[in-house]
């Protein structure tokens, strides 16, 4: 859960609470907004200057982001139910969420979402990318099955994202929006539009975006657009990205699949990723970065 705590002299804290920790990040309060939206200097009139933020950037007030502790998300792309449950149980102490996508759901059915949800935050990676009505139906089924978050694409546009967000709100769930993907083919069409998609995500009351760990410089560029929103980065390990570079570029968490579920000891691998993330966060924080 994220909320803003008022401080003194215009400095407040963005507070992210997990089951175990409270991460505080200093911010200016109220958050500065572009002058065109905010005719009054915020030091003169905190309430008046905060109003445009609520009106134009409602996600600051309402996002119910996934709780991050280790910063590690397991991509559970296996197709065998007992293996899936076994890997999830082994890595559970080291992860914040299990990402479930088509490979697992098509092989095991949506019941697997509920099974995993008994012990983990389940993020449904259905990369929802359809017209608003279909998006709403997909999101509804995912949340009814036990998901706490869902991933959608940005490219179908504002109304399609809004439909997912509306459905997520009914269930108190998160929406994460894909901006630029991690594979080389993303450079064909997605990368040139990623900034625009990140801006759209920023305006859409979502919890965060997905940005590529394989291109940390792009994580950094997209962070500059989305501000405090969550950035979760896949592409670590098997695709060549590293946890430390992604976190140092401004990612809040990383998504790892094969390097965890194919590891001889998934728990040990998860523990190593989690230590690497912690070290990178400390170094990033020392340099004045977020280090969530
Ligand atoms: O390469 P792996 O095995 O570590 O798996 C990476 C996972 O992240 C896999 O489930 C893949 O579908 C997903 N992913 C990417 O690899 N790149 C992306 O750009 C986006 C995703 C993804 O999960 O998108 C939604 C979060």
| Atom number in ligand 1 closest to CA 232 | 26
Of 176, 235, 270, the residue with max ligand 1 atoms within 8 A of its CB, to mutate for a pocket test, comes to 235
Binding site membership of 125 for ligand 1 (Cβ less than 6 Å):
yes
- Listed in sequence order, the residues at least 6 apart from 188 whose beta carbon sits closer than 8 Å to its beta carbon are none
The residue whose CA is least distant from atom 5 of ligand 1 is 257
What local confidence, expressed as pLDDT, does residue 285 receive?
Answer: 80
What local confidence, expressed as pLDDT, does residue 67 receive?
Answer: 85
3-state DSSP of the chain: CEEEECCCCCEEEEEEECCCCEEEEEEECCCCCCCCCCCCCCCCCHHHHHHHHHHHCCHHHHCCCCCCCCCEEEECCCCCHHHHHHHHHHHHHHCCEEEEEHHHHHHHCCHHHHHHHCCCCEEEEEEECCCHHHHHHHHHHHHHHCCCEEEEECCCCHHHHHHHHHHHHHHCCEEEEECCCCCCCHHHHCHHHHHHHHHHHHCCCCCEEECCCCCHHHHHHHHHHHCCCEEEEECECCCCECHHHHHHCCCCEEEECHHHHCCCCHHHHHHHHHHHHHHHHHHHHHCCCCCC
| Atom number in ligand 1 closest to CA 77 | 10
Task: Write out the catalytic residue numbers.
Answer: 127
- Write down how long the chain is: 292
Binding site membership of 210 for ligand 1 (Cβ less than 6 Å):
yes
Of 230, 234, 241, 242, the residue with max ligand 1 atoms within 8 A of its CB, to mutate for a pocket test, comes to 234
Per-residue pLDDT tens, the chain, 292 aa: give them. 555 554 433 434 344 554 434 343 434 444 333 332 333 333 333 343 334 333 433 333 334 558 899 999 999 999 999 999 999 999 999 999 999 999 999 999 999 999 999 999 999 999 999 999 999 999 999 999 999 999 999 999 999 999 999 999 999 999 999 999 999 999 999 999 999 999 999 999 999 999 999 999 999 999 999 999 999 999 999 999 999 999 999 999 999 999 999 999 999 999 999 999 999 999 988 777 666 6
What local confidence, expressed as pLDDT, does residue 169 receive?
Answer: 97
Q: Which of 231, 216, 289, 277 is nearest to 69 (CA)?
A: 277
List, in sequence order, every residue forming a beta bridge with 149; answer none if it has no partner. 123, 174
The span from the CA of 76 to the CA of 83, in Å, is 10
The residue whose CA is least distant from atom 14 of ligand 1 is 234
159: which 2 tokens?
């109304």
Binding site membership of 243 for ligand 1 (Cβ less than 6 Å):
no
Residue 263 Cα to ligand 1 midpoint, Å, equals: 17
| Atom number in ligand 1 closest to CA 127 | 25
What local confidence, expressed as pLDDT, does residue 181 receive?
Answer: 98
Binding site membership of 234 for ligand 1 (Cβ less than 6 Å):
yes
What local confidence, expressed as pLDDT, does residue 30 receive?
Answer: 44
Residue 284 Cα to ligand 1 midpoint, Å, equals: 24
pTM: 0.80
Q: Which of 137, 169, 131, 165 is nearest to 151 (CA)?
A: 165
Binding site membership of 240 for ligand 1 (Cβ less than 6 Å):
no
The span from the CA of 150 to the CA of 160, in Å, is 13
Binding site membership of 190 for ligand 1 (Cβ less than 6 Å):
no
């Amino acid at each position: 859960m994220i909320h803003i705590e008022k401080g003194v002299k215009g400095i407040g804290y963005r507070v992210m609470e997990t089951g175990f920790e409270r991460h505080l990040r200093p911010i200016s309060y109220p958050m500065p907004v572009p002058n065109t939206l905010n005719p009054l200097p915020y030091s003169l009139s905190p309430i008046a200057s905060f109003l445009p933020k609520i009106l134009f950037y409602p996600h600051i007030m309402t996002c119910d982001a996934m709780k991050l502790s280790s910063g590690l998300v397991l991509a559970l792309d296996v197709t065998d139910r007992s293996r899936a449950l076994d890997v999830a149980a082994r890595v559970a102490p080291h992860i914040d969420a299990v990402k479930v996508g088509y490979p697992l759901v098509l092989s095991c059915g949506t019941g697997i979402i509920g099974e995993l949800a008994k012990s983990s935050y389940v993020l449904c990676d259905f990369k929802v990318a359809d017209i608003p009505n279909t998006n709403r139906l997909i999101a509804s089924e995912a949340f009814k099955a036990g998901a706490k978050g869902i991933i959608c694409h940005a490219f179908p546009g504002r109304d399609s994202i809004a439909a997912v967000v509306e459905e997520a709100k009914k269930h108190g769930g998160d929406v994460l929006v894909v901006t630029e993907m991690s594979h080389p083919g993303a450079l064909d069409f997605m990368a040139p539009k990623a900034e625009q998609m990140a801006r759209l995500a920023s305006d859409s009351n979502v919890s965060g975006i997905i940005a590529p760990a394989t291109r940390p410089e792009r994580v950094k560029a997209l962070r500059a657009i989305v501000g405090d929103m969550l950035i979760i980065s896949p592409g670590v390990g098997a695709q060549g990205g590293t946890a430390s570079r992604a976190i140092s570029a401004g990612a809040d968490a990383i998504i790892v699949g094969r390097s965890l579920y194919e590891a001889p000891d998934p728990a040990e691998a998860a523990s190593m990723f989690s230590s690497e993330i912690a070290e990178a966060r400390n170094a990033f924080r020392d340099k004045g970065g977020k280090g969530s």
